[in-house]
Amino acid sequence: MTDLTEQEQSVQPSPTRPKGASRAVTVISVLAVVLLLALVAMSSYHLSYYRVAPGSAVPLDNHITVSGTPEFIPEGEVYFTTVSLAGEVTVLEAVSAWMDPAVDLVPTDEILGGRSPDENREVNLQAMSDSQEVAKRVALEQLGFDVIQSNGVIVAQIEDGTPAAEVLEVGDSIAAVDGERIETWQQMVDLIHSHRPGDVIELTVRRRSLNPDGQPVPPPPDAPTEKVKVTLTRSADDPDVAFLGMAGFEDLTPLPLPFDIEIDTANVGGPSAGLALTLAVLDVLTPGELTGGLQVATTGTIDPTGRVGNIGGIEQKAHAVRRAGVDLFIVPTDHVEAARKVLGDDVEVAGVDTLQDALDVLAEHGGNALELAMPSAQNTEAEKPAA
């Protein structure tokens, strides 16, 4: 009896957890599970947005090789800039992008334009390939070679009820105005504006054809021409300005290059490296310092007449330029403000509208951009490829 009493007395009751503490543990556990499930969902559920982030600024001079003529590797370099594209993003990636000022979220339709990701990739790679071919020819034209044949202006759009609608069709090529040969769209605009409303002008036209799908096909350069007369009307913006009522672009034929130029941009797609490619080709083909020894990044499309066009992702490219530590960033004029907003005083930004503008900027920074010449007679008239 004594032993049992002592045993019972030695057994202490287990401490009881307060009800409030037990409830808190349960709530925390539930919240942890909910948070874990939310994170899993956020990392697996995809949104119809692409993530556009800073890419890189890549020096081009070592990516260009020529054969059949000397090449020159300068101290300064020309860089082309890229963006990093990823999609479609998860909710977690979207939240991270929203918190990063260097990253944009862009609706999938704006990126793909109704194409599949693979189709979009192929389109962008083709755009880069086309940009390379244009850049080679624009650079060689700048050096005196004849590698682009101008055939006039392609009619791209006609406004209903205007004089153009009476005599032209989309896809026609206008070779001359009043007997003056047309080489650029701006030249044609200037000729129209040199007249008064009510004046009659004569257009020399090569007529389009239609492909099996019914789409207009511009005529070949050797297609027969016809002459049509049209009376100019008044511009809606200014009654004193003559108006034809069409929009167009240059009708150009690429001619054979005098030597081989290879550009390796790996798997980068898109047309926005056009200006950079043109400057880099000029840099490699000519002795001296095109950039004045500076590290110069640039972006902008290039067309066969040397016009520089706008691009996408300027903010992301500006961030890439800052990371690369370049001295100067040349961009299309419309993008100067956005680039400066990112770069501040860290990198100088210059805006241009044409290749010549870019060469002028480089000359102002100590480059020989206005004195470019190849160290041989290859760019004389005798050496120009025949049309």
Last residue of a domain, one of 203, 228, 254: 254
Residues 356 and 338 in one domain: yes
Q: 162, 155, 192, 197: which is closest to 177 by C-alpha? A: 192
- One DSSP character per residue, 291-341 reads TTT-EEEE--EE-TT-BEE--S-HHHHHHHHHHHT-SEEEEEGGGHHHHHH
Token pair 């940009």 is found at: 131
In a domain, 310, yes or no: yes
Would the pLDDT of 22 be above 80?
A: no
**Overall number of domains in the chain:** 2
Q: Are residues 281 and 141 in the same domain?
A: yes
Q: What is the mean pLDDT of residues 288-314?
A: 95
Q: How confident is the model at residue 38 (pLDDT cuts 50, 70, 90)?
A: low
Closest CA to 195 of 151, 155, 229, 150: 229
> What CATH number is attached to the domain comprising 200?
2.30.42.10
Cα angle 298, 326, 133 (rounded to 5 degrees) comes to 30
Domain presence at residue 18: no
| Per-residue pLDDT reduced to its tens digit, 39-59 | 555 555 567 788 889 999 999
User: What tens digit of pLDDT does each residue of 223-280 get?
Assistant: 999 999 999 999 998 999 999 999 999 999 999 999 999 999 988 999 999 999 999 9
What pLDDT does 378 receive?
45
Tell me, yes or no, whether 263 and 366 share the same domain: yes
Q: What is the pLDDT of residue 275?
A: 97
My answer on whether 210 and 317 are in the same domain is no
- The dihedral formed by the CA atoms of 106, 107, 112 and 115, expressed in degrees to the nearest 10: 170
249 and 266 together in one domain: no
291 lies in a domain? yes
Q: Which percentage of the chain shows pLDDT scores above 90?
A: 67
SS3 assignment, position 88: coil
Last residue within a domain, chosen from 224, 254, 284: 254
267 and 168 share one domain: no
**Can you tell me the mean pLDDT for 24-37?**
65
pLDDT of residue 2: 47
pTM of the model: 0.78
Per residue in 175-219, pLDDT (tens digit) is 999 999 999 998 999 999 999 999 999 999 999 998 998 888 889
Residue at a domain's end among 254, 289, 317: 254
pLDDT the model gives residue 85: 83
For residue 195, what are the domain limits?
Answer: 148-254
Which residue did the predictor score with more confidence, 95 or 367? 367
Tell me, yes or no, whether 68 and 161 share the same domain. Answer: no
- Is 337's pLDDT higher than 90? yes
pLDDT in tens, 113-144: 888 889 989 999 999 999 999 999 999 999 99
Which H or E run contains 64? strand 64-67
The Cα 28–Cα 160 span in angstroms is 70
Strands 49-59 and 104-107: antiparallel
**35 or 310: whose pLDDT is higher?**
310
Out of 94-103, 317-326, 364-373, least confident range: 94-103
CATH code, domain with 341: 3.30.230.10
What pLDDT was estimated at residue 48?
77
The band of 13, judged by pLDDT with boundaries at 50, 70 and 90, is low
Q: pLDDT category, 368, cuts 50, 70, 90?
A: very high
Average pLDDT, the chain: 87
Range 5-11 contact pairs with CB under 8 angstroms and sequence separation of 24 or more: none
User: Are residues 72 and 199 both part of a single domain?
Assistant: no
Q: Is 100 a member of any domain?
A: no
350 & 367 share domain: yes
How far is Cα 77 from Cα 62, in angstroms, rounded to an integer?
Answer: 9
pLDDT reported for residue 62: 85
| 135 & 279 share domain | yes
